[in-house]
Chains A and B, each alone.
Chain A
């Protein structure tokens, strides 16, 4: 027995010798590393004081290594839902899989929807010629509020710019795409509004999503109106912030929501995060107008930053078209970010965000569609600058626009079969059918306040969307046959957070005379009456 043990120890002797040699070598190498003595001393002394701590520290180190080695991609391997397949099984599954077609062919309704869009032959303006009928019509469909379309001065300036700059900017602003005319337009916009600076984007629609996502990040709080337009909805989605909703254009409810957010934060003792209120000046969805002074009061009271989308109101309200700030006589510096469209109201292309220099500089580096997109063509920037110049010098344009809005409203407000949710000064006028089939809201109004966490309003009235759209399209077609071009407000049904009620949208223009506006309104009125009575 003892010999057996002695035999095994002697057999293992070379191994032990080797191990001790390795140990000595390792120790030698270890002490050659600069700073290793410090580590060794630390480990020794801590082990002496508390041997349990050494075990804990080794475990910690192992855990850290494991965490570091773990893949940070979102691969599902190793997760509990991952199923192991053999190569043959994978081949079979691949053979079996049949994808759905990428885009289903259009249904007949969708086809007629697409075909109902009139094509303008030649220049668009207040009285364009339509390609399908060859007729000249009064245009209440296109965004030409201040009548800048076809302006001869703008054309001449655009041609001059073409001859100096060519068409494309051929690069993003960071890489030789910042042309002097862009800087000029940014300065013009900032001066016009009275802000420190502004930044130009190359498409109106893509402006606000990137402005919001440049500032609001995960964990930040955004309080938004339930009636915001699609572009803002996309901005909220891409920002990944926590969104709280208040009732459409209801500032009383906004205050409640702001209070509840503050209460929630106190309860959770969360850190101070960025907080924003996002709403529109004049809402694209229905033409309602926000009470700006009250909004600013709330923003200051609860220490929120205000992002105001003036895509419709900039260039259309106020004495010279400076937007809501001019209308309410509020300094534009009170609003942290004013977003406007160069396309809708200056008849060019692009969008802007105006605010303080810090706000603007931040976007130069952090706003995706500014950094990764080519700058606006020079001739379009110059056209917009010229547009601002014209608005500045001719306040009569804005008074004509308001007169035309009043003229049209005077006729339409008296039509029984429709309701108009738009503000009396709004240059876009939405027309709803009055006799909505089932208004459940009126029957069971609950006392409970709406839930700020969901975009859907409580007791939302339900509409027969397809039916109403058909009727409205009939009205549009009838008016078009009588020489007045209007359009159904197009929506991305199924992609919007809240389905907007179907409506006809008029875009009033200063380029038509009062007489023409009255005539157009009468035509629409007649069309409404004709279609609605026919249905009955």
Chain B
């Protein structure tokens, strides 16, 4: 039970005792037993460390606080560092103030491993587009063909010998099947074969590392059962760009305080009894973060698109969509009843010729002029790692007068010198974009989404968007996580500064009046230094991984500044082997593998999502793993200059800082 004293915002001191949660309070009989467990764990850790430590060892208490999370401190079995994940390779010295758990947010003090994410004006966007040798395409198609044949053969015999297994796929007792055998063919005969690569259950924080619940299957991945053990793995898969997925630190403390004050829910939709003062505060802060007049927050990222786009458009409007736009945009477009046309991915020529065609032709059949034309693009494409060509689009916008909607689900927080997304990255005025949309799931370690734009438009969407009337509003703890993480990226201005002046500068700091009065952020979050460090580390890691892979000879897609790095495997069968080999390494690494239908048929890929929580050594680990597996799987298909791994690792800073 929370004590009433806790409500009056206790002073936050950096003490290890604070890191306990109430469950451990009850688990530990007394403070004494906790202390004993703690000192034992600490001693174990220091014995192991002492072999390699060359610099000054830190104070015992703080060192255990930085290298071990609470659950490992208090575990009966000592944390086994054989996977090399639990402790930084360069241990912190007494000079370093470390506030984060190394398992959740890596310790990486070297200032050389920082980079500023910004577009160099006048340069073209660099895109890796490299075709592999023809035999790769041939074998890829062959493997599809083989799988299709095998699948049909198995279906043919299966239906005759094991009819019970196929009953739900065929008409039965006057009911049509929920999912016919034909419709589910791909799922049954392709995906099921490699189902161990998907939907792996996890526990704990999806930070720098992630704790996988081990599972096994005795029936070729039709069902899984948990074995009861866990595996900790390096996490290069979660959307945790700025590393705010943390259970400790200033943001988590603010969320805890919020839970005590506000509870879990606001009990209803925004217009029907579910509006909290936190929503009002949050929307104002988001608007000033983005440099827009006003913003609207929704409780689910997918629903932001699927409920707002129908409110923007109606019959007689046209939506122009990039061919690789996210499912939520397509969902919203279908609900809107507007006409939809697509152009080739990021191809500005294709876009311009489409614009000329649709404006000159007008609406189909009637040839009436369109009421509105809305161009919907993403800031950063989640499967391709490509950035939108925003400068060119804004030029086209001037000429063709369409409205622009930029979905920044992946780019907000992750791009730009101030983390304000693609507009910040390209150095353009955010108000030249009509609607900015984005989510809080990725960079802010929260959930939900926003749309931002002019006051008149956002007010219209508050009334017309489906969410305001019918969907639950965003939960207070989630809102506070957004407020705290966003404020720490912006930095908070001094209370003495004028609110009007602060509001006028963009990208500038947040004003204290834009945050709840009770929120007490630690100094490193308040002055924005930690937020800046996260932005710089993410930018460095992104470039390092993407360029390192290219130097090793891998074919990657996307822009070099993108935190999403897709490594193309082509062959379907290499997906699961790559995944399993990465997981089976001494330092297990979890990766996301995707193939058709999420990607084109021939370009199955691994998608790395880099995070600020990774250290340079983590990226080294990943490069080393890719290097070894790449040799086995024949993945190094890129012609041109190659560097040996050692050279890449030793010249990381140089590799990142050179211009194209």
- Report whether chain A binds chain B: yes
Distance of A483 from chain B, by nearest CB (Å)? 15
Point out the residue from B21, B173, B356, B364 that lies within 8 Å of A163, measured CB to CB.
Answer: B21
Nearest-neighbor residue (CB-CB) of B592 within chain A: A175
Q: Is the CB of A119 within 8 A of B275?
A: yes
A110-118, A326-334, A466-474 - the one binding chain B: A110-118
Nearest-neighbor residue (CB-CB) of B330 within chain A: A368
- With A120-B275, A131-B277 as contacts: A178 and B463 at CB distance below 8 Å: no
B266: interface (CB < 8 Å):
yes
User: How many Å lie between the Cα of A119 and that of B174 in the bound state?
Assistant: 53
User: How many Å lie between the Cα of A300 and that of B372 in the bound state?
Assistant: 48
User: How many Å lie between the Cα of A74 and that of B357 in the bound state?
Assistant: 13
Listed residue (A204, A349, A377, A491) with the most chain B CB atoms within 10 angstroms of its CB: A349
Q: Is the CB of B178 within 8 A of A74?
A: no
- With A143-B267, A273-B176, A490-B269 as contacts: A373 and B302 at CB distance below 8 Å: yes
A115-151 to B contact mask, C-beta < 8 Å, 1/0: 0011111111100000100000001011110001111
User: How many Å lie between the Cα of A154 and that of B265 in the bound state?
Assistant: 11
Q: Which residues on the A side are within 8 Å of B342 (C-beta)?
A: 73
Q: Is the CB of B259 within 8 A of A158?
A: yes
Point out the residue from A343, A344, A365 that lies within 8 Å of B187, measured CB to CB.
Answer: A365
A67-94 to B contact mask, C-beta < 8 Å, 1/0: 0000001101100011101000110011
Distance of A308 from chain B, by nearest CB (Å)? 16
- With A163-B247, A170-B445, A303-B175 as contacts: A238 and B205 at CB distance below 8 Å: no
User: How many Å lie between the Cα of A94 and that of B401 in the bound state?
Assistant: 9
- With A206-B306, A491-B469 as contacts: A180 and B359 at CB distance below 8 Å: no
Distance of A366 from chain B, by nearest CB (Å)? 8
A23-31, A34-42, A229-237, A404-412 - the one binding chain B: A229-237
User: How many Å lie between the Cα of A42 and that of B327 in the bound state?
Assistant: 48
Distance of A410 from chain B, by nearest CB (Å)? 23
Q: Which residues on the A side are within 8 Å of B251 (C-beta)?
A: 167
Q: Which residues on the A side are within 8 Å of B310 (C-beta)?
A: 495
Q: Is the CB of B302 within 8 A of A162?
A: no
Distance of A442 from chain B, by nearest CB (Å)? 31
- With A275-B176, A365-B187 as contacts: A374 and B2 at CB distance below 8 Å: no
- With A100-B372, A106-B459, A495-B310 as contacts: A170 and B260 at CB distance below 8 Å: no
A180-204 to B contact mask, C-beta < 8 Å, 1/0: 1001000000000000000000111
Q: Which residues 438-484 of B have a CB within 8 angstroms of A?
A: 439-442, 444-447, 454, 456-457, 459-464, 466-472, 474-478, 481
The total of chain A residues at the interface (CB under 8 A) is: 122
A248-256, A356-364, A514-522, A526-534 - the one binding chain B: A356-364
User: How many Å lie between the Cα of A505 and that of B273 in the bound state?
Assistant: 11
Count of inter-chain pairs, beta carbons less than 8 A: 393
B391-421 to A contact mask, C-beta < 8 Å, 1/0: 0000000011111000000000000000000
Q: Which residues on the A side are within 8 Å of B166 (C-beta)?
A: none
The total of chain B residues at the interface (CB under 8 A) is: 138
Distance of A132 from chain B, by nearest CB (Å)? 10
Q: Which residues 365-406 of A have a CB within 8 angstroms of B?
A: 365-366, 368-369, 371-374, 376-377, 379-380, 383
Q: Is the CB of B245 within 8 A of A99?
A: no
Distance of B620 from chain A, by nearest CB (Å)? 22
B79: interface (CB < 8 Å):
no
B89-97, B150-158, B236-244, B564-572 - the one binding chain A: B236-244
A166: interface (CB < 8 Å):
yes
Q: Which residues on the B side are within 8 Å of A166 (C-beta)?
A: 104, 205-207, 245-247, 252, 445
Q: Is the CB of B178 within 8 A of A274?
A: yes
Q: Is the CB of B22 within 8 A of A156?
A: yes
Listed residue (B261, B264, B402) with the most chain A CB atoms within 10 angstroms of its CB: B264
User: How many Å lie between the Cα of A135 and that of B361 in the bound state?
Assistant: 58
Q: Which residues on the B side are within 8 Å of A377 (C-beta)?
A: 446-447, 475, 477-478
A104: interface (CB < 8 Å):
yes
Q: Is the CB of B481 within 8 A of A150?
A: no
Q: Is the CB of A102 within 8 A of B199?
A: no
Q: Which residues on the B side are within 8 Å of A119 (C-beta)?
A: 275-277, 279-280
A494-513 to B contact mask, C-beta < 8 Å, 1/0: 01000000000101000000
B144: interface (CB < 8 Å):
no
Q: Which residues on the B side are within 8 Å of A170 (C-beta)?
A: 206, 238-240, 245, 441-442, 445
Point out the residue from B361, B463, B590 that lies within 8 Å of A113, measured CB to CB.
Answer: B463
B55: interface (CB < 8 Å):
no
Distance of B65 from chain A, by nearest CB (Å)? 14
Since A83-B360, A168-B447 are in contact, a sample of 20 more A-B pairs with Cβ atoms closer than 8 Å, ordered by chain A residue number, is A98-B401, A99-B372, A103-B461, A114-B463, A121-B277, A122-B277, A144-B267, A150-B263, A163-B21, A166-B246, A167-B477, A205-B303, A205-B472, A273-B176, A303-B173, A348-B265, A373-B303, A377-B477, A377-B478, A490-B469
A-B contact pairs, 27 of them (CB 8 A): A76-B357, A81-B361, A85-B360, A99-B402, A100-B372, A125-B267, A142-B273, A143-B267, A155-B260, A159-B21, A160-B23, A166-B246, A166-B445, A167-B255, A176-B592, A202-B300, A202-B302, A205-B467, A205-B470, A230-B466, A230-B469, A303-B174, A349-B474, A349-B478, A366-B179, A379-B259, A490-B272
